[in-house]
A = this chain, B = another copy of it.
Amino acid sequence: MKMSGGVEWAVHCCVVLSEAEGPVPAQRLAEFHGISRTYLAKHLQALSRAGIVSSTEGRVGGYVLTRPADQVSVLDIVLAVDGREQAFRCTEIRQNGPLPASQEVCRQPCGVARVMYAAEQAWRSSLKDVTVADLAASVSVDVGAGTFPALRGWLAGEG
């Protein structure tokens, strides 16, 4: 079981966007994180389709957070980039074999699937409780309050 590596990129980018003052091009976001520009663009497009991020085309275009940072959960980003499908997919093997479960019984998911779905629900709930604003605050604590001013400086300069 492996999450798409793009999720890490997307979350970090959202934190940067939450501290930026204007639209930030994909080029800039990729350069700042030392990652592939073209591939990051794909994930940013996914964020855009999900409504998490808004894009501005044209010369001074780029990406901006659509909602305030405290209204964007990590779960929103994960679902947008990694997809909304559950990790566990029930194939209903209880309906196979010599003693298959009846159609009546199979109207509700089996016990195995229910356990898996509950666990994923716990996972999603945990991710839903953390916002991009929370992450930005944790960065300030971890690496210092001067980080984001420096970031804004870098984003503005080096044109």
Contacts and interface: CB of A to CB of B under 8 A. Distances in A.
Given A96-B35, A127-B115, A3 B1 contact: yes
Contacts of A32: 97-99
Interface string A17-55: 000000000000001111100000000000000000000
B115 A130 contact: yes
Contacts of A94: 12
Q: How large is the interface on A (under 10, 10 to 19, 20 to 34, 35 or more residues)?
A: 35 or more
22 contacts: A1-B1, A1-B83, A2-B89, A5-B91, A11-B112, A15-B112, A31-B97, A31-B98, A33-B97, A74-B115, A87-B87, A98-B154, A99-B150, A99-B151, A99-B154, A105-B142, A111-B135, A112-B135, A115-B126, A116-B127, A119-B126, A122-B126
Interface of A: 1-5, 7-9, 11-12, 15, 31-35, 74, 82-83, 85, 87-91, 93-94, 96-99, 101-102, 105, 108, 110-112, 114-116, 118-120, 122-127, 130, 134-135, 138-139, 142-143, 147, 150-151, 154
